[in-house]
Amino acid sequence: MTRGHCLCGAIRFETEASPQAASVCHCSQCRRQSGHLWASATVSKATLTISGPIKWFDSSKTAQRGFCPTCGTFLFWHAHAEDTISFSLGALENPTGITLEKHIFCDDKGDYYEITDALPQKA
């Protein structure tokens, strides 16, 4: 079981599915919303149970981002055309059993840091 919650605890989520594609996203939206990078993993939307007053923000025509309206924790990303949902690795309870696999949206990364690990970097 994978479990997580926001900073204040109002939003909780869990899944029995095995999280896939653990990634660090360097896109400007994730950096802006999280303060730096956003680490997430993905499961089928039907397998993720979310409780609490989650607020969804339409960050584009194709995707929305879920956050806690009380403490502001950014927790979820969902593309309308996909039946999957991504959740914040930073919100998980240990042990997660998850290991980062790759960096994504590296072409959109900020100029104030370098990627210094050996994980694959996707454009």
Which listed range, 7-15, 41-49, 88-96, 109-117, lies at the site for Zn ion (CB under 5 A)? 7-15
The single-letter DSSP state of residue 80 is T
Assess whether the previous peptide bond of 53 is cis (omega < 30° from 0).
Answer: no
- Least Å distance, CB 121 to Zn ion, is 14
- Least Å distance, CB 83 to Zn ion, is 19
Which listed range, 18-26, 40-48, 79-87, 112-120, lies at the site for Zn ion (CB under 5 A)? 18-26
Q: Which of 8, 79, 100, 115 binds Zn ion (CB under 5 A)?
A: 8
Beta-strand ranges (E) seen in 8-73 are 12-15, 20-25, 38-44, 48-51, 55-58, 63-67
Nearest residue (CB) to Zn ion, 27 versus 106: 27
Number of residues that bind Zn ion (CB under 5 A): 9
- Residue positions counted in the chain: 123
Q: How far is CA 15 from CA 33, 87, 120, in A?
A: 24, 10, 27
CA angle 108, 97, 118 (to 5 degrees): 40
Using CB under 5 A as the binding rule, whether residue 22 contacts Zn ion is answered as no
Using CB under 5 A as the binding rule, whether residue 119 contacts Zn ion is answered as no
Which residues within the stretch 55-114 sit at the binding site for Zn ion (CB under 5 A)? 68, 70-71
